[in-house]
Chains A and B, each alone.
Chain A
Amino acid sequence: MNLDFSDDQKFLQAEAKKFLEKENSVNRSRNILDTDKNVDKELWSKIVELGWTGIRIPEEYGGLGLGHLELCVIAEELGRYLAPVPFSSSVYLFTEAIIKYADEEIKKEILPKLISGEVVGTLAVTEDFHAPSKENIITEVSSDLVNGKKIGVPDAQVSTHSILVTKSENGINLRLIDHAHQSVTIEHQQNIDESRGHFSIECNDTPSKLIGGETNGWELYESIINQAAVLFSFEQIGGSQASLDMSINYAKERYAFGRPIGSFQAIKHKLADMYVALTLAKSNSYYAAWALSTESSDLPTASATARVSATKAFQLCSKENIQTHGGNGYTWEYDCHLFYKRSKLLSVNIGSLSNWKEKLVSSLEQSNIN
């Protein structure tokens, strides 16, 4: 019985923590907000230098060839320190899709460049202000040329490539496009957490390469999302822990009515609720990490369970962190709002809470039939 990370993985996590702490990652996230940029390029290139973008890439392509568990511990730290970098888009979504579904030629071309940072990727699915589905995708691909517009694509402007969910006459396709092509127009869209930008991608006869099969693109997309949900959960528990830690520190230091506010049961119970939500999310994420790393058939259920718990935990912890800080928590100066905004970004990025609850119950129904 060992539902825990290994000593090596814990060491990697401690190193990641040290690095992001030293780099002042939370402040970097704040500083981005005062610029018209949506990424900290310096931090990103340091992360690339550390080799984190190649953790999961097999050694034959120059990567470290490590497992998902190593990625989980890093994700937790990126979440804790609000790193303003396109890691989730490029690593959990884009790189994983290439490793899993791209043909050998594409892998040889793209994977080494993902390691070196020459290629940064993202995944584009949404087209309108509602949840995407197999039925409502309208971006079209025909003779490898893509036409259509995606919106709300995270990190698109700092990405060199993206994988688009498109429709062809044969069904849903995943399509790799190069942002450098003149037919691609990328525009910034105002968003809630500008430390990670969101963009529209418009394709006008844009050449593309097929990733995976001609007909099963939606199933591949869902499988990528199911994997990524585990890694997103780790970012969310990192953010939840940071929010809870801020609340604890403030509740001990802030005095009202002649005593620390943390001595009032209204505050104690609030923080205990945060701890409960975080503990449930963490335990479910550990189990999902196991399911991911062993390619267990329980992964769809396990990842949805982790995702729902972690989204709830980060939403609760980040909003109650503002509340615990009172008026100060509502100021730009305090960090509370950075976590509140990041919790929203992470909670909608791969689909909303209600949709993940639905996925969870569907997967229970599915596994019950089988």
Chain B
Amino acid sequence: MDFNDTPEQAEFRKTCRKWLEDNAKLKSGNQVEDFANIDFLQAGKDWQKKKYDAGWAMLHWPKEYGGIAASAIERIIWSEEESKFSVPRGIFEIGLGMCGPVMMEYASEEQKSRYLPPMAEGSEIWCQLFSEPSAGSDVAGLRSKAVQDGDKWIINGQKVWTSGAHFSDYGILVVRHDPNLDKHKGMTFFFVDMKSPGIEVKPIKQITGGSSFNEVYFTDVVIPDSQRLGEIGDGWKVAITTLMNERLAVGDANGADAEEAFKWAKNQDDSGEPLINNKSARASIADWYCEANGLKNTKLRTMSALSKGETPGPEASITKIVSANKLQDIGNFGIDSLDMAGMLKPDDSEVQSFHNAWLGAPGLRIAGGTDEILKNVIAERVLGLPQDPRADKNIAFKDIPSGNS
């Protein structure tokens, strides 16, 4: 056991570090990312472009699409180093983390050459159009319609929870082309120009008051058949590829953690004594410290496997469940520590971080698979338990009970 890089990895880390030092500033304090802020968007695009020109944007991609064909461990090393710098990351996560891999696997050579480099460069932003008002956890229950008309398709329906749709140039889309087929067989996958006539994007106001995701309405939107990804009826198979990547993209919850709760408790007054002397606070901090380090060390185990060229085990599947719940509890702890003044929102960055945690965590526990769905995934895929008997199998989609009369 050791935490050292191999000589090659150390060399690679040095190269990353050198470039980052020449092009960015080391982090100081917490930086809050805000999708509504257009300057931040521009800053994100500028940073992405800079990285692209130097080959860092999508370093694991082949050279022809702007990458440097880096290995999995090199990608992690880059990401570790980049995260130490104050740079606007995050805007491109969905596009690069989910849309990119799908395009890579299913698009034509010509399309890949056209779309992947601008995606990597950040000049074109992508979003993912899967969930619908009646298809959340059960995303295969989606109803948006695609009707074929010669060499094009006409799309009608509504998508929801689409992060970044309001500033995206393209989107990946799964829709139902035949409601007479079985649920999972009647779907087809496309990519779509978000500027197409008939697409309307309406921001959703979240419980935080902010809007990072949207409703997207499709009214007679035309998509050429050449923008179909996979065969007609393969929509679910293609979507699953994306969802698997989403579970990697939506991982560790950013925000107040055990360390922040500990530091806060040392300085916060609790009925005339430091809060850290409170037994119940100490026990909670111990629990969060164990969870935070459990996740950190789990990540190190995954990296160890990658570093040896092995396939990591399923252990990283616990990340989002643990981190989102911990975030919620820590936010709650921080606010409660103010006692009767806890309802107030003072101009204090630490208190704000607890508010952000408390209001942000409920969203994180749902985004990218709810706690419940993720536990099903662990139970079925990791532990090998049988699937639920289904009421929606082997019948035409249109005959599945929906509760909507």
Contact = CB atoms under 8 A, between A and B. Distances in A.
A3 B297 contact: yes
A276 B318 contact: yes
Interface string A348-361: 00000010111011
Contacts of B386: 252, 259-260, 262-263
B216 to A, nearest CB: 31
Contacts of A268: 375-376, 379-380, 385
A250 B64 CA distance: 52
A304 B374 CA distance: 29
B276 interface: yes
A206 interface: no
A289 interface: yes
Interface in B250-308: 262, 266, 276, 282-283, 285-287, 289-291, 293-298, 300-301, 303-305, 307-308
A251 B384 CA distance: 10
B315 interface: yes
Interface in B299-339: 300-301, 303-305, 307-308, 315, 318, 321-322
Given A268-B385, A275-B378, A283 B9 contact: no
Contact of B301 (A251, A264, A286, A308): A286
A283 B294 contact: yes
Contacts of B300: 1, 3, 283, 286-287
Interface residues of A, number: 50
Contacts of B387: 263
A2 B315 CA distance: 16
Contact of A262 (B285, B297, B385): B385
B372 A284 contact: no
B4 interface: yes
Contact of B282 (A69, A272, A293, A357): A357
Interface string B337-377: 00000000000000000000000000000000000101110
Interface in B16-57: none
Contact of A275 (B262, B285, B382): B382
B5 A358 contact: no
B156 to A, nearest CB: 34
B382 A3 contact: no
B2 A286 contact: no
Given A265-B388, A268-B380, A358 B282 contact: yes
Interface in A279-295: 279-284, 286-287, 289-290, 293-294
B383 interface: yes
A252 B384 contact: yes
Contact of A305 (B276, B289, B303): B289
Given A263-B389, A287-B297, 5 more contacts: A1-B300, A252-B386, A279-B315, A280-B322, A284-B294
